[in-house]
Chains A and B, each alone.
Chain A
Amino acid sequence: MRAFVVAVFAFLYLPIGLVVLFSFNAGRHASEFTGFSVQWYGKALSNPFLVEALKNSLFIATTSALLAALCGTAAALGLQRVGARTRAVFDGLLGAAIVVPGVVIGISTLVALVQLFGVLNPFLASLWPSDQPPRLALGYGSIIAAHGLFSMALVAMIVGTRLGSLDRNLVEASSDLYATPLTTFRSIVLPQIMPAVIAGFLLAFTFSFDDFIVAFFVAGAQTTLPIYVFASIRRGVTPEINAIATIVLVASVLLVVLAQWQLRQRKPSH
C-alpha cells in the first residue's frame, strides 16, 4: 500500500514538476531540455496584455477576498445568534453557494445581471442631469460579486467552525468580570477567530485568483489571468505559458500553506 501511496503522490506532483522544469528550458520543445534559461519569464513579464491581466486578477482577488472576509465573518457571528430554523435556511444557502458548479453560477449571474442592467440603465439615464449617464456593464464589479458569493460562504463556514469550538467559559468569565460586550468581543472572541478569518481570506483570494469558469461568463470586456492563459493555451503550448503557470502555482502554494498554518494555530499569540 505504501508503494501505491507513493505512486499517487508522484502522479499528483510530477506533471506540475514538469511544467516548472520546462519553464526554465532554453529551447521551445517539451521533448528535450536544452539548457537552463529564465528567458521565458522575461518574455512573459514584458507582455503588456499578460501584465494587464495579472493586475486585474490581483485587484479582483484582493477586493473579493476582503469583501468575503468581512461579510462572511459577520454572517458567521450573526448565525450564532439566530434560531435553528433560520440557521438551517442560511446553512442551505451557504452550502448551495459552495456546491453549485461554477458554470451554473457563471451563467445564472450573467443572465440576471444583463436583465438587471437592462432595467437599471434606462432608469439611471432618465435621472441623470447630463447627457452621459453612467452605464452599468459587466466587468470588474460582476466578477468581484460572483467570486464574493463563493468566498463569503467559504469564510462563513471556516469561521463558523472555529466559533463552534470557542470556549464559552471565557466569554462568560469576561462578562462576569464586567467587561462590556464590545470589550469581550475584542479581547476574547476576535483573537480566537482571527486565524480562521485570515485563513478564509487567503483561501478566498486563491479561489478568485485561480477561477476561470465563473469569470469567463461574467467578465464582459475584462480579462483575468486565467482567461488570458486559457486563450493562449488554445493557440498552442509555449514555454511562456509554463513560466506564467509556475508563477501562479508558486503563489497559490505559498498562500495555501500560509492558510493551513493559520488554521493550525490553536492559541493566539498574545
Chain B
Amino acid sequence: MRGNHLRKTLLTALLLAPATLWMVVFLVLPFVAIAVFSVGERAPEGGYQAAFTLAQYANLPARATAFWNTMVLAPAGALACLLVAYPVAYYLALRAPERWRLILLALVVIPFWTSLLMRTYAWMYVLGGRGIPALLAYVGIEDIRLINTPGAVLLGIVYGYLPLMILPIYVSLERLDRRLLEASADLGATPVATFLGVTLRLSLPGVMTGFSLVMILLLGEYLIPTLLGGGKVFFIGNALVDLFLQSRNWPFGSAIAITLVLVSVVVLIAANRISTRLSGARRVDLI
C-alpha cells in the first residue's frame, strides 16, 4: 500500500518536473536576474557591475517620454478596442444566427493567431505614401500624412488587439442567462435599462479581462509604435530595445522592465477589484 502511494507521488513529480524546470530556469530565474540587475550599476564598457543602489530607478524620468506615450496610448488603445469590440461581441453572442456564429467566431480568432508583424505591415502598406495618401491625391487631396502619427499607432493597436478584446466579452455574454433579459423586460424595463442593468453589468468581468489583457500587452508593445509611429511615437518597449540591444545599459533597462511588470500587476489587481465590485459580490462563477 505504501509502495503504491510512493509510486503515485513519484509519477506526479515526474510529470510535473519538465515544466517546473522550464518555468524556474526560463521564467523565475530571468525575473530574479533583472531584479538584481535593476539595483546594479552600469559598467564603464556597458555591461553590469554589482552594486546595491536605487540610482537606476531614480533615473526613470530620463525616459519620461516613452512612459508618457505608453501610459496615454495604452489605455486609450484599450478603450478604443473596447468600444469597437463590444458591439461585435454582443452581436456574436446574442444576435448572430446560430449557424453563422462559429464561423464568425473563427473569423475573429484567426487574425489573433496570425503574425502581428505581418498584420502591422499591412497597415504600413495601406497608410504609407503609396497607399491611401496616393489614392487621396488622385481625387485632389494632397499632402495627407497618415503614417508615423499617434493616430496611426492607435489604429494599429485597435487592429492588432481587437480579437483579444472580443473573445472574453463574447464568452461572458454567451454565458448570460437569457431568462434574465426576459424577466427584465417582463418587469417593464426599457431595452436600454435592460442593457445597462443586466447585459452590460453581467458582462463586466469579460470587459475587465479583455481590457486588462490588452492593456498589459500594450505596455510592452514594440512593433506597432516602431512600424506605424516611425520612431516619432515610441513606447517603453522601444526604450527597452534601445537599452538592451543598442546602447547596452542593462541595469537601467532592467529597472524599466521591473517598473513595467509592477505597473502590469497593478493593472491586473485593479481590473480584478473593479470587476468583482461592479458585478456584485454574489456573482457565482460557473467555470
Contacts and interface: CB of A to CB of B under 8 A. Distances in A.
Interface of A: 1-2, 4-5, 8-9, 11-13, 15-16, 18-19, 22, 29-31, 70-72, 74-75, 77-79, 81-82, 90, 93-94, 96-97, 99-105, 107-113, 115, 145-146, 148-149, 152-153, 156, 203, 206-207, 209-210, 212-213, 216-217, 226, 229-230, 233, 237, 241-242, 245, 248-249, 252-253, 255-257, 259-260, 264
Q: Which 10 A-B pairs have the closest CB atoms?
A: A101-B220, A78-B15, A108-B30, A75-B19, A15-B122, A31-B134, A210-B115, A112-B30, A78-B16, A30-B130
**Interface bracket on B:** 35 or more
A193 B57 CA distance: 47
Tell me the dominant secondary structure on chain B's binding face: helix
Given A108-B33, A256-B109, A4 B261 contact: no
A252 B115 contact: yes
B85 to A, nearest CB: 8
Contact of A229 (B28, B34, B117, B131): B117
B269 interface: no
A138 to B, nearest CB: 12
Interface of B: 8, 11-16, 18-20, 22-23, 25-34, 37, 84, 87-88, 90-92, 95, 102, 104, 106-111, 113-119, 121-126, 128, 130-131, 134-135, 159, 162-163, 213, 216-217, 219-223, 227, 237, 240-241, 244-245, 250, 253-254, 257, 260-261, 264, 268
Given A100-B261, A226-B117, A248-B118, A260 B106 contact: yes
A89 B122 CA distance: 40
B91 A108 contact: no
A146 B37 contact: no
Nearest to A250: B114
Contacts of B162: 8, 12
Contacts of B11: 81
A203 B113 contact: yes
Contact of B121 (A108, A152, A245): A245
B27 A96 contact: yes
A256 B244 contact: no
A41 to B, nearest CB: 15
Nearest to A156: B19
A152 B122 contact: no
A102 B26 contact: no
10 contacts: A5-B87, A5-B91, A5-B92, A15-B159, A101-B216, A103-B241, A103-B257, A249-B114, A256-B109, A260-B106
Nearest to A259: B113
Contacts of B121: 19, 229, 233, 237, 241, 245
B145 to A, nearest CB: 16
A62 B119 CA distance: 23
A217 B244 CA distance: 8
A248 B8 CA distance: 45
A207 B114 CA distance: 8
A79 B19 CA distance: 11
Nearest to B236: A103
